[in-house]
Amino acid sequence: MINRRLFLASSLAASALGVAQPVLFAHKKGEEYVLPEEYMPTEVKLRDKFEPGEIHVDPGSYRLYLTLGKKKAMRWTVGIGRGNLYHPGTFHVGAKQKWPRWIPTPAMVERNPDVYGPVVEAGGQDGGINNPLGARALYLYTASGRDTYLRIHGTNNPRTIGIDVSNGCARLINPQVEELYELVPLGTKVVLYPKASGVGVHAAI
């Protein structure tokens, strides 16, 4: 387990980086929601040196970092697994999918058979705007090549960003996961830090 800390020394506005500006996203109830400015992708300077091209997820701050080298990283805000469904560890991206098909895991069916059972019986849900995996998905595998069923994926519901919400995966809004997807090749190292207080990746202004 990595036990180093990331410290924010300076940042660039998302607009200066050419990333998406805050826009209105339709909430499922028909309301309009403005994603907070602080949730936009931001380049940050790191105190410690990390190898470039790694993903680090800090559940305590709901932040996902993609290291760039030279003590810099891109930072996104994510939703994470609720309760004990979040599983820390070190993994790698074993597969990538655009508009992925969603099939609930056996554990999900066991927890809520009435909701997830029919989806499995139907062979899963086709990719699309209402698919729980969103526009893109990065599939996390163990070092031995086993699919963990953990994902970094998209969502069309921005209100689920910055909270404990999922069945174990980390989620970004669709426009942001599309950006991340293009930056992350197969084999990328992914570190999910524990939820325990004081352990993981931290940013300090």
The residues annotated as belonging to the active site are: 153, 169
Give me 86's structure tokens: 């979040």
The burial of 41, by beta-carbon neighbours within 10 Å (0-12 exposed, 13-18 middle, 19 or more buried), is given as: buried
From the list 61, 53, 43, 52, the residue with the least C-alpha distance to 5 is 61
Strands (E), 121-162: 136-141, 147-155
How far apart are the C-alpha atoms of 203 and 205, rounded to whole Å? 7
